[in-house]
Amino acid sequence: MITKETQNKYLPDFETGEIILIDKQLFKSSFDIVYKVRKAINVKKVGHAGTLDPMATGLLIVGTGKMTKQMSKFRSLNKTYTGIFTLGKTTPSFDVETEFNSKNDNYDIANEIIYSAASTFLGKSFQVPPFYSAVKHKGKSLYEFARKGVEIEKEPREISISRFEITKIDLPEVWFEITCSTGTYIRVIANDFGQKLGCGAYLSRLRRIKVGEYDVINAFTINEFTEKFKEVALA
């Protein structure tokens, strides 16, 4: 695995297969990162182990060569996220991708009530994937239908939240750290959180800091990776 810790310990073999930790920047899709890695190392077979929305930042695990077959084992690991829920407004996508569709100025809620609401999410539950998501229906992502105004009925999925910590409250912003099972949509939690508080909420910031025990602290930005390893690929 190529991380900031291991980068100088051996010469990577991208063609045969490597695992790379990348810290995805804002406004870039997971596909954008895969494309840039592929271009930098000149290897056709490159994939990732779990999509991050363009409006999210953080840890993206990328595989090259034969290691692309190992991506499923990383997808199944728990994920840890930090971010901000903003109270008092909602959007159709539950995040900042779409325009506000409701507003409620009654978000001056006691801290104890906010902490209590967070605790109700712990454990196993069922979550319906958001209307705007990459979940497939007849070969197309749900967001493709959503952008055309077509709503597809979605089956609830079992999820598990092992940690939900409120790290800061500066209303209307509520800062959090959540550890959850794969397939959990944090923006759905944001929307549900707002409903529990009775004022609405949307996900205004999201960062994935861990996948299992793999930490974004050890990840390269895509620019760092490109500068470090493009010469290796050309050698």
Q: Is the peptide bond before 172 cis (omega within 30 degrees of 0)?
A: yes
Distances (CA, A) of 227 to 20, 36, 40, 224, 233: 14, 12, 9, 5, 11
Q: d(Cα 168, Cα 60) in Å, to the nearest integer?
A: 26
Supply the residues annotated as catalytic.
53
Q: d(Cα 138, Cα 187) in Å, to the nearest integer?
A: 24
Residues in CB range of 128: below 8 A, 6 or more apart: 154, 155, 156, 157, 188
Q: d(Cα 161, Cα 9) in Å, to the nearest integer?
A: 36
